[in-house]
A and B are shown apart, each in its own frame.
Chain A
Amino acid sequence: MNNGSGLLHIPKWLLMLAIAAMTVFYFAVPPAVGFMEPELARVVLFHLPCAFGCTVYVLLAAGFSLAYLVKKETIWEHRAAAASAVSLVLAIGTMTTGILFSKVQWGEWWHWDPKQTAFLIVLLLLAAYFMVRMAFDETVAKARAAAAYSVVTLLPVLFLIFVFPRLPGVSEKSLHPQDTVQSGKFSPEYKAGYLGLFALLLLFSTWLYRMHVKIAVLEEKDKFDDGNLETSDGSTPSSRVVRPVSLRE
């Protein structure tokens, strides 16, 4: 469909330009002092926004799922599925950058650090949500099961992200710093870096999320249209209709 105006693409171009500018800034940030590999400490600038973004989308997915269970409107199910998909991508980004950081700064790929372990379980919960969706063919049953599972995962996710790493006896064992973000211990360049990337990541992920919802709505419309044997002008549709044929000559 031609929307008739190139002006609508301007925000996308601006977003891409901002991402390019942020990438340049990413390399302009000075190496962090006090790390084993100061040059590679810049991974934090991508790791933190991914983790924040993932948390935002997990909470949104649970909220949309609850809205679906209450209102029974399919659009909420599409929104929940899209938010879960984006959060899964961001969770994979968080894990990948975290594992890289762990190797270069702490010496091992995996440390059984409480935050690492907690996020791995969050990743498993997100993957399980998609396993539930894949197990159903019927649309309404799939939507209900997935929505219920998304809501029920909220409790362990909140516990794992916000409570478990801060428990006494657990927090002391973590290699992750506990209050660097809250107490503003980042240098101004790093603070600008992770906040800027977080803002861009939110914009970019919102774009992905909206596309995901649009595709789901179009697929649903397409499925609905296939069920009709007559089009609006009274003729029969030209595609996807199985016509009976005689086997006798």
Chain B
Amino acid sequence: MNSSWFEEAVGVARKEWTAELRDTSALMTSLVLSLGTVFTLALAFYGRRAEPPAAAGMLWVALLFAGVSSLTRTFVAEDEQGTGDLLRLWSRPSVVFWGKAVYAFALMSVVATVVTLSFIMFMSLPVAVPAMLFFSLAGGVAALSGTVTLTSSIISRGANRSNLSGVVSLPLLLPLLALGVAAGRSAIEGSRIAEGWQACAGTWLYTLVVFAVAPHLFAAIWREP
């Protein structure tokens, strides 16, 4: 096996994406859950326009629940299908982590695009600084993907994993949620622009730290004793 680190990571990401396209369970779960949330919120706000802080909060909550509910299956599925051991033999831990995280980012990018556009359309929400909203969502989705990929690997062998995934992931993501909501609020209402860009930079800083630490922690728990 002479493939480079990059080729192996792309291989893992491609394997995940191919498997996803075969049954589309994670994509459909995320989309149905998050779009259902958006439609419910739009109905609740029927005839009224949501305040920017509330709108930014609701958008992030929809994305967060979609991510946590679908991405935690990433490693659980490997163990259930019995392919985890093959992956352990075939790949280095850092390759597996990055491959899975890239797949998670691709999946959540699709979900975030569909959900954000639907949210803006159904809530009749004018966005004053679209670039800020885009960059904060991109940073937030990247951090979300890295964090949930790691927590998914931590709990993949545990009992009661579906309930545990939310309990374990959400407290870790709450600081990110605070940053994302602050940036989203500034982007929607077009005020406190400097603070908004600071929060946007904060989401990317969170991403940077998550991806600096997570592969090393993943390597420590992925290999069998």
Which chain A residues numbered 132 to 157 have a C-beta less than 8 Å away from chain B?
A: 132, 135-138, 140-141, 144-145, 147-149, 151-153, 155-156
Q: Does A35 contact B (CB under 8 A)?
A: no
Most buried by A among B160, B161, B170, B174: B174
Q: Does B128 contact A (CB under 8 A)?
A: no
Chain B contacts of A159 at CB under 8 A? 175
State which size class the interface on A falls in: 20 to 34
Min CB gap B78→A, angstroms: 15
Chain B contacts of A121 at CB under 8 A? 171, 174-175
A144 and B174 alpha carbons, distance in the complex (Å): 24
Main SS class of interface, A = helix
Q: Which of A70, A132, A141 contacts B168 (CB 8 A)?
A: A132
Which chain B residues numbered 193 to 225 have a C-beta less than 8 Å away from chain A?
A: 195, 209-210, 213-214, 217-218, 220-221, 225
Q: Which of B157, B168, B217, B225 contacts A69 (CB 8 A)?
A: B217
Min CB gap B223→A, angstroms: 10
Main SS class of interface, B = helix
State which size class the interface on B falls in: 20 to 34
Chain A contacts of B171 at CB under 8 A? 121, 124-125, 128, 153, 156
Which chain B residues numbered 163 to 210 have a C-beta less than 8 Å away from chain A?
A: 164, 167-168, 170-172, 174-175, 178, 192, 195, 209-210
Q: Does A160 contact B (CB under 8 A)?
A: yes
Q: Does B150 contact A (CB under 8 A)?
A: yes
Q: Does A164 contact B (CB under 8 A)?
A: yes
A236 and B77 alpha carbons, distance in the complex (Å): 44
A69 nearest in chain B by CB position: B220
Chain B contacts of A155 at CB under 8 A? 209-210, 213
A131 nearest in chain B by CB position: B167
Q: Does B154 contact A (CB under 8 A)?
A: yes
Docked-complex contact A135 and B150, CB < 8 angstroms: no
B160 nearest in chain A by CB position: A135
A140 and B167 alpha carbons, distance in the complex (Å): 22
Min CB gap B175→A, angstroms: 5
Interface 0/1 of B57-90, CB less than 8 Å to A: 0000000000000000000000000000000000
Docked-complex contact A135 and B175, CB < 8 angstroms: no
- Chain B positions within 8 Å of A, measured between CB atoms, are 150-151, 154-155, 157-161, 164, 167-168, 170-172, 174-175, 178, 192, 195, 209-210, 213-214, 217-218, 220-221, 225
- Chain A positions within 8 Å of B, measured between CB atoms, are 69-70, 72, 121, 124-125, 128, 131-132, 135-138, 140-141, 144-145, 147-149, 151-153, 155-156, 159-160, 164, 168-169
